Amino acid sequence: MKTYLDTLGHPDRELSDEDMALAQALQINGRASFREIADALAVSDQTAARRWSRLRSAGKLRVLGLTDPLRLGDSLWVVRVRCTPDAAASIGEAMARRTDTSWVNLSSGGTEIYCAVRTRGPGPEESPLLQKLPRTPQVVDVSAHCLLHIFFGQDLSSINKRGPLTAAQIRALAPPVAPLRAPDAMPAVTLTDGDRHLLDMLARDGRAAPAELAAATGLSPSTVRRRITELRTSGALYFDVEYHPDLLRQNFRAALWLEIDPSRLAEAGAALAAHPEVSFAAAVTGTTNLYASIDVATAQLFYRYLTESVATLPGLRHTATAPVHRTLKGPGPYLPTRP
């Protein structure tokens, strides 16, 4: 059966240094003009545009405009589903086809699924999937952990850590108005029908031209520009580079679940987010209150990471790991746009 990842093609495994620089530039500012990118990378506008067109056409990279669930009054759940061995793959593939999941992995030798599920509203009762899973035959156990705070993710990805750009280049590319890390007490952003249509377009192509977006939404180009700026300023909209998993993914990947002393959770989360092995890190509900996705080259390096880096995290009480057996959806732990 064809999975989500089969639709992305099979590009070469490596990006050149020049391609990686362009990818990092777009991760910093997904809607930067080719002139802005060219100035920062010391290439011509035509070279930057041609390089991007080649990478996008080959299915290696694309820029997506995504929304922060917390700023829209939605919630995100990291869900673990234990199944009988003969059912995990088929159930996982069904979950991968849903629009309210953003990534779906098989782990524990193919007997466990873990995934990200977005719900409208704060509770799991808002999700048909979370209501249905416990009643699904051959599902042994379901646990849902509400995402409380992202330490590394959304507009930050492995590209930020592995890219070659200097601090001066990063400053030059930063958008004029950076996305806000809004306090939890701020009210949710209210979207109009026009906003929703605009966001749906950006979720398919984050670099779509204002004229194209205007034609599709019925808004004027100036309104499109203004509303994108407003949504970015509010923190509701951010831009992310989606890349084919073969390009940056290491050979050994695992989910890491940590129990941290609550008084040290913020400190531990910030420290974890700085580790080069971490592609996503967030505080979640449950006894294991810190979750991370780990990418390393080998199992031996994962052992070294656990014993040398994870072991020194402040307030660490308990560690649990689950190696990724197979990815059914998503090259990384991306948040979905909207269910």
For residue 88, CA distances in Å to 57, 179, 326 come to 33, 38, 11
The SS3 of residue 6 is helix
Helix residue ranges per DSSP H, the chain = 17-28, 34-41, 45-57, 88-96, 128-132, 158-162, 167-173, 193-204, 210-217, 221-234, 245-248, 265-273, 299-308
pLDDT at 184: 55
| pLDDT of amino acid 131 | 84
Residue 272 phi, psi dihedral angles, 5° rounding: -60, -40
pLDDT of residue 8: 41
pLDDT digit string (tens) for 34-62? 999 999 999 999 999 999 999 999 888 99
Mark the ranges of the chain whose per-residue pLDDT is less than 70: 1-13, 121-126, 176-186, 245-246, 249, 331-339
pTM: 0.84
The confidence score (pLDDT) of residue 25 equals 97
Q: Could you give the count of Cα atoms lying within 13 Å of 279 in the half-sphere of its Cβ?
A: 23
Q: Give the pLDDT of residue 27.
A: 95
* pLDDT at residue 5 in the model: 40
Residues in Cβ contact with 167 at an 8 Å cutoff, skipping those fewer than 6 apart: none
